[in-house]
Amino acid sequence: MMPAALPLVLAGPTLRHCDQDHFTLWFVSSTPMNQLTLHLGEKKLILAAEQTHQVRLGKHAWQYLIQVNQDQLLAVNSPIEYRLTDSLHGSVFENIAQLNYQSESAPEFVIKPEIDNMLHGSCRNPHHHSGDALVAADTRLSQDLSIEARPSLLMLSGDQVYVDDIAGPMLYAIGQVIQLLDLPQEEFPHAELRQSSAISYHPAALYRRHKKLLPKTQHQAKTALRRWYINHPIFTSSLAENHLVSLGEIIALYLLTWSPELWQQIEIPKEVAGLSAVNKLRWESEWLHLLEFKAGLHQVRRLMAHLPTYMIFDDHDITDDWNLTAKWEEAAYGHPFSKRIIGNALIGYTLFQGLGNAPKKFKSAIVPLIDAYFGNPDEEKQDRLIHELLKFEHWHYNLNTSPKIVVLDTRTHRWRSESNLAKPSGLMDWETLMEFQHELVGQSNVIIVSAAPMFGVKLIETVQRTATMLGSSLLVDAENWMAHPGTANTLLSIFQHRKTPEQFVILSGDVHYSFAYDIRIRFRKGGPNIYQITCSGLKNQFPEKLIPIFDKLNGWLYGHFSPLNFLTKRKRMSIRGRRPNGERSKRLMNQSGIGLLNLAQNGAPTKIAVLHADMSETHFDAPRKD
C-alpha cells in the first residue's frame, strides 16, 4: 500500500499530563511534521524542537509528544480549545471524523485542580465478550459538557493492553499493520526463530506460540505439582498462545487499541482455513468481539482527546505474573530471548503510556536512548535501551491536585521473599514504602492509585495463600498486598501512623470485578477514614459462575462481624463492604464498567459508582452505622 493512502493522523490526539503549568498532547502521524503551532484558547505558541519530541516508530509512523511547560499556562475551571497546525499539512486534527462534540469546532478540555469528580478503571481486553466502558464514558460526557459535570481526569490503573493475551484476528491485524507502516524488525537472541521478519501471521500459524516460539525453563516445586512446572513457559499466562514478542508487534497493538484509523486500512477474514475445529470456533468468536470493539474506537479517541488521561502499568501491559516471584525474575531475565520480549513490552509502555504521565522523569536517562534506537535501529541500541528501562526507578508519579494523587509502581520495586524465592514478592519494598509514606506527610487527604487492591477480598487472598503453600503461586496469580509479611505490616503501619492523612481514597483495578470498602482502625476514635474502591475491568470480567460463590463464602467467613478477621494481618482494621445497588447479600459486582467517583471538599467520597457499557450504573452506598 502506498503511503499516500494513509490518513495524516493514525492515532490520537490524546491529552496526557495537563495542569495549570503543563500541557501534554500525544498523537501518531503517518508522515513527519514540519513547523508545529499550538493554539490554546487565545494563546498561539510556535513550538520549539524541545517541545515536540518525535519518534519515528516506522517508515510511515511518527509519534509526537507535545510538551509545553510554563507558569500559569492554562486557566482553571474554564473550557480551553486546542488546535495544532503544521506549516506543511495545515490543521493537523481538522479532518479526523467524530473528534469533536456537537457544539465544538475543535476539542476542548478543562483544568480542574480541585477534584470533585473523576473517572477510573483498568483491564481493557479488546476481544473480551463484555462491552467497552470507555465508550459509555464518552456517551455520558457528550450528554453534559458543563464544567460542573466534566470529570477532572481519567485514571487508567493497569492492563491498558494485554500483550500476553492476543486474539487470533488481532494478531492477524498486527501483522498487516507491521507491513503497512513498515515497523521495525529485529533479530531474536537465543530463539528458535532468529528474526522477527520470519514470523508468520497466516491463520494456520496462530495459537501456537506457547509451543513453538516462547522460551521455556524449569521451576522447582515441593509438591506433586512439580511436573506442571517442568519445562513450563517462562510466560505463564494461560492464554499465551499469541503472546507478542517483537517491538513492531507491540507498536501495532497500541495503535489498534486506541484508534480506528488503521482498522479501516486492513481486512480480517471471518472464516479462515488451516485452524483446528476448536481454534476455528475461537477465531470466529474473537472476530465478532473485535468487530464490536473497533466500532467504539471513535468514541474512545474522542473521550481521551477531551480529558487529561493518566496511566500506570500492571502485569498484562508487560506479561502475566511480571515479577511475581524472585524465581520468576531469575528465569525471565536470565534468558536473553525472554528478557528481550519483556523489554520490548516495556519500550512500548514507555512510548505509549509512561512518557505522557510525567515527561520530565524520562528526559535525561531514557529519552536519549529512545532517540538513538529509533533514529537508527540495531540490536545493540535496543538491548541498551531495555537494560536501562529494566533499571529505571521512576515509573511512579504524583499529581499536584486537591486531593493529591499518588500513583504507585507496584511491579518493579518488589520486596522479594527471604524464605523462599518461589513465594510471592511484596508489591513494594521497604525503601519504596518509606518514600510513599514521605509523600503522605502533611496531607489532610489523598488519593492513592494502586493497581492491585490494598484491601482485597479475603477469601480469594486465602485461596492464593493456600496455593502458595502448595508451591503453585504462579498458577493462581498469588500477588496481593497481604501476601508478603514485610510489605503487609509496613503498609498497615503507614495507615496507622499519626502523621499520615486523615482520609485515604484508594483506587484499584486488576481483579476483573468491582467492590468498595469503608475501613477504619479498630479501637481508635476518629480517623483515618480509608476507602478502598476497586473498579475492574473496562472490558473484562471475572468468570461468571465463580464470583457469586466467592462473594457468598467471603461474606460468611470474613464478614464485618466474623471473628476470623482477628486471625488475619489486617486484624486492627474494621472493614465494611458496600452493597452494590443496596443488594442484601452481595458485595462484588461482576460487570465491565468504568468507575465514577465524586468527592466532597474534604476529599470524602459522595458517590462511588460504576458506569456499565449499557449505560446502567451500579452504586455502592455507604454502609449503615453500627
Distance of alpha carbon 48 from its chain centroid, rounded? Answer: 31
User: Under 8 Å CB-to-CB from 16, ≥6 apart: which residues?
Assistant: 24, 25, 26, 65, 308, 309, 310, 356, 357
Residue 624 has pLDDT above 60, yes or no: yes
Which range (115-119, 450-454, 581-585) has the least confidence? 581-585
Instruction: Tell me the per-residue pLDDT of 49-96, one tens digit each, with 9 for 90 and over.
Output: 999 999 999 999 999 999 999 999 999 999 999 999 999 999 999 999
Name the burial class of residue 413, with classes exposed (0-12), middle (13-18) and buried (19+) by CB atoms within 10 angstroms of its CB.
buried
Average confidence score pLDDT of the chain? 91
What count of other Cβ atoms lies within 10 Å of the Cβ of residue 220? Answer: 12
Instruction: Tell me the per-residue pLDDT of 186-216, one tens digit each, with 9 for 90 and over.
Output: 999 988 899 999 999 998 889 988 888 888 7
Residue 554 has pLDDT above 80, yes or no: no
User: Under 8 Å CB-to-CB from 116, ≥6 apart: which residues?
Assistant: 148, 152, 598, 599
CB 576 within 8 Å of CB 568: no
- What is residue 571's predicted lDDT score, i.e. its pLDDT? 79
Give the span between the Cα atoms of 463 and 176, in whole angstroms.
42
3-class DSSP state for residue 209? helix
Give the span between the Cα atoms of 442 and 543, in whole angstroms.
42
State how beta strands 445-449 and 515-521 pair: unpaired
Please compute, for residue 5, the number of CA atoms within 13 A of its CA located in the half-sphere on the CB side: 8
CATH fold of 3-109: Immunoglobulin-like (2.60.40)
User: Under 8 Å CB-to-CB from 333, ≥6 apart: which residues?
Assistant: 339, 342, 390
Instruction: Tell me the per-residue pLDDT of 150-180, one tens digit each, with 9 for 90 and over.
Output: 999 999 999 999 999 999 999 999 999 999 9
Please provide the DSSP assignment of 51-70 as one string.
GEEEEEEETTEEEEEEEEE-
The neighbouring-strand residues paired with 76 are 111
User: Under 8 Å CB-to-CB from 103, ≥6 apart: which residues?
Assistant: 145
- What is residue 227's predicted lDDT score, i.e. its pLDDT? 46
Residue 106 has pLDDT above 90, yes or no: yes
Instruction: Tell me the per-residue pLDDT of 336-345, one tens digit each, with 9 for 90 and over.
Output: 999 999 999 9
The neighbouring-strand residues paired with 557 are none
Q: Residue 553: in which H helix or E strand, if any?
A: helix 547-558
117-160+395-621 is classed in which CATH architecture? Answer: 4-Layer Sandwich (3.60)
Banded pLDDT at 402 (limits 50, 70, 90): very high
Overall residue count recorded for the chain in this entry: 626
Phi and psi torsions of 63, nearest 5°: -90, 135
CB 255 within 8 Å of CB 28: yes
User: Under 8 Å CB-to-CB from 60, ≥6 apart: which residues?
Assistant: 3, 6, 30, 31, 180, 181, 182
Residue 4 has pLDDT above 70, yes or no: no
Give the span between the Cα atoms of 588 and 119, in whole angstroms.
19
Instruction: Tell me the per-residue pLDDT of 264-297, one tens digit each, with 9 for 90 and over.
Output: 999 999 999 889 999 999 999 999 999 999 999 9
- What is residue 469's predicted lDDT score, i.e. its pLDDT? 61
- Whether cis (ω within 30° of 0) applies to the bond prior to 528 is yes
Give the span between the Cα atoms of 551 and 588, in whole angstroms.
6
3-class DSSP state for residue 315? helix
- Spell out the domain ranges in the chain: 3-109, 117-160+395-621, 168-299
Q: What does each C-alpha distance from 518 to 99, 190, 528, 599 come to in angstroms?
A: 39, 51, 11, 15
Please provide the DSSP assignment of 424-437 as one string.
BPBSS-HHHHHHHH
State how beta strands 617-621 and 573-577 pair: unpaired
* Global pTM value: 0.94
Which range (175-179, 429-433, 552-556) has the least confidence? 552-556
